[in-house]
């Protein structure tokens, strides 16, 4: 249960005086009207207005994107411009409504108007090809139904759909419905490609001889790591219902002799020994602090002296909040009701609490996909 503070607490004071004056000024309709006419401020006012409009209507933009994906319009317009009549026929939607959708998609930058029709834009093409992104958009219907009432999510009053969704996919439900587990494990695995790219590029694996990926799903991260590092020995650990597909993946890639696959729960079972590094890729943000801390302690105990823990996932910004971590992933995790998006500094603190030292935060190129925190077990070289 989330703790509720009893009172408002002391207000931060430094710098609040001039901000009060500025905010009251900018919020006044008279000032706004004047600034929107004055030649030195009117462009800024217009830009702020556009930013504001995007904030106000972002949910609608996302839903337009969802309809475009659901109706498979990215693929349909990739190679050749399509007429409205053809698109409308294909989607079984009246032409005037189809026109509304294509115009909306064009306004959002997904299509170009070509001749009398529509063709996929370069942004649309990047989105269509970005591994796992279309699948993520498709599964957003579950999350966005929960997000209809964010205040209820914040107060913890709501039975969210997401709270049932992933635990069902990866937990007990996976055993009851291997088909569902397989479908959404595939979504995780598809979206892993970009995460693996960022993690490997960060240099976090440099010098590692035997890597154990805990919560490694169906092995997409190890497959990428093993491809980039042909000398790497690997261990995959995940729930028993999830790992059979990993076996298949490693066999197909000809990596089976380099990988040991182990089924178990990091909550209840001991972790396999022998790895000099352990990765937790998109695992910590699924779990509460006590679970993550217990897991980090277990990993610390399993690693040899000189061993390394690598955490990689999208992270919150701490003192400098960012949209992906502090808005999207923070609310996603809150709707799941089990985990939370943490800043690299917070994860570093938890690692230190578990015993790790020399904690480092190598920069990644696209933090909205993953940031990385690495800690070492003191002792050997």
Ligand X SMILES: C[S@@+](CC[C@H](N)C(=O)[O-])C[C@H]1O[C@@H](n2cnc3c(N)ncnc32)[C@H](O)[C@@H]1O
Residues found near ligand X in the complex (CB under 6 A): 170, 188-189, 192, 195, 215-217, 220-221, 238-239, 242, 265-267, 281-283, 286
Binding-site size for ligand LPSJV3QT (CB under 6 A) equals: 12
Interface residues for ligand LPSJV3QT in 351-370 (CB under 6 A)? Answer: 369
Q: Are 221 and 281 a contacting pair, CB within 8 Å? A: yes
Q: Which is nearer to ligand LPSJV3QT, 101 or 333 (CB)?
A: 333
Interface residues for ligand LPSJV3QT in 94-133 (CB under 6 A)? Answer: 122, 126, 130, 133
Minimum distance of ligand LPSJV3QT from residue 125's CB (angstroms): 7
Residue 221: name its binding partner from ligand X, ligand LPSJV3QT, none (Cβ under 5 to 8 Å by kind): ligand X
Q: Which is nearer to ligand X, 99 or 269 (CB)?
A: 269
The residues, ordered by sequence, that sit 6+ positions from 158 with a Cβ below 8 Å of its Cβ are: 146, 149, 152
Q: Which is nearer to ligand X, 68 or 271 (CB)?
A: 271
Specify the pairing of strand 233-238 against strand 111-114.
unpaired
Residue 74: name its binding partner from ligand LPSJV3QT, ligand X, none (Cβ under 5 to 8 Å by kind): none
Q: Which is nearer to ligand X, 215 or 376 (CB)?
A: 215
The Cα–Cα gap between 105 and 229 comes to 41
The stretch near ligand LPSJV3QT (CB under 6 A) out of 25-33, 54-62, 209-217, 279-287 is 279-287
Q: Which is nearer to ligand X, 68 or 295 (CB)?
A: 295
The Cα–Cα gap between 8 and 15 comes to 19
Distances (CA, A) of 71 to 57, 64, 74, 81, 254: 22, 11, 8, 16, 37
Minimum distance of ligand LPSJV3QT from residue 132's CB (angstroms): 7
Among 233, 258, 282, 342, binds ligand LPSJV3QT (CB under 6 A): 282
Q: Chain-centre distance of CA 164, in angstroms?
A: 18
The Cα–Cα gap between 365 and 345 comes to 18
Among 223, 332, 342, 343, binds ligand LPSJV3QT (CB under 6 A): 332
The Cα–Cα gap between 240 and 174 comes to 9
Which ranges of 13-149 would DSSP assign to H, the alpha helix? 16-27, 29-37, 42-70, 73-76, 84-91, 95-107, 122-129, 133-146
Interface residues for ligand LPSJV3QT in 131-150 (CB under 6 A)? Answer: 133, 136
Q: Are 244 and 217 a contacting pair, CB within 8 Å? A: no
Count of CA atoms in the C-beta half-sphere (13 A) of 153: 21
Q: Which is nearer to ligand X, 111 or 237 (CB)?
A: 237
In the complex, the residues that contact ligand LPSJV3QT under the rule CB under 6 A are 122, 126, 130, 133, 136, 166, 191, 282, 285-286, 332, 369
């Amino acid at each position: 249960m989330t703790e509720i503070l009893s009172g408002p607490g002391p207000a931060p004071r430094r710098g609040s005086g001039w901000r009060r004056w500025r905010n009251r000024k900018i919020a006044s309709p008279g000032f706004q009207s004047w600034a929107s006419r004055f030649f030195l401020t009117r462009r800024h006012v217009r830009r702020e207005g556009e930013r504001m409009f995007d904030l106000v209507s972002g949910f609608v933009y996302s839903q337009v994107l969802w309809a475009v994906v659901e109706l498979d319009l990215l693929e349909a317009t990739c190679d050749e411009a399509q007429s409205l009549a053809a698109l409308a026929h294909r989607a079984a939607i009246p032409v005037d409504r189809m026109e509304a959708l294509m115009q909306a998609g064009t306004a959002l930058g997904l299509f170009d108007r070509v001749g009398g029709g529509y063709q996929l834009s370069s942004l649309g093409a990047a989105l269509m090809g970005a591994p796992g992104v279309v699948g993520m958009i498709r599964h957003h219907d579950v999350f966005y139904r929960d997000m209809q009432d964010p205040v209820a999510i914040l107060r913890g009053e709501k039975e969210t759909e997401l709270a049932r969704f992933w635990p069902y996919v990866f937990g007990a439900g996976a055993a009851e419905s291997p088909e569902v587990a397989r479908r959404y494990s595939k979504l995780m695995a598809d979206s892993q490609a970009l995460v693996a790219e960022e993690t490997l590029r960060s240099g976090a694996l440099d010098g590692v001889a035997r890597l154990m990926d805990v919560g490694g799903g169906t092995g997409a991260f190890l497959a990428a790591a093993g491809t980039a590092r042909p000398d790497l020995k690997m261990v995959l650990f995940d729930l028993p219902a999830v790992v059979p597909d990993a076996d298949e993946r490693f066999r197909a890639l000809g990596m089976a002799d380099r990988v040991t696959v182990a089924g178990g729960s990091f909550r209840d079972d001991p972790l396999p020994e022998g790895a000099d590094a352990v990765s937790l890729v998109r695992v910590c943000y699924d779990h509460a602090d006590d679970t993550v801390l217990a897991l980090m302690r277990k990993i610390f105990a399993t690693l040899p002296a000189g061993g390394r823990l690598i955490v990689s996932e999208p992270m919150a910004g701490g003192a400098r909040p960012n949209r992906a971590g502090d808005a999207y992933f923070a609310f996603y995790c809150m709707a799941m009701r089990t985990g939370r998006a943490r800043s690299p500094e917070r994860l570093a603190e938890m690692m230190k609490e578990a015993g790790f030292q020399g904690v480092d935060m190598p920069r990644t190129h696209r933090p909205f996909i993953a940031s990385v925190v690495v800690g070492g077990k003191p002792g050997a070289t």
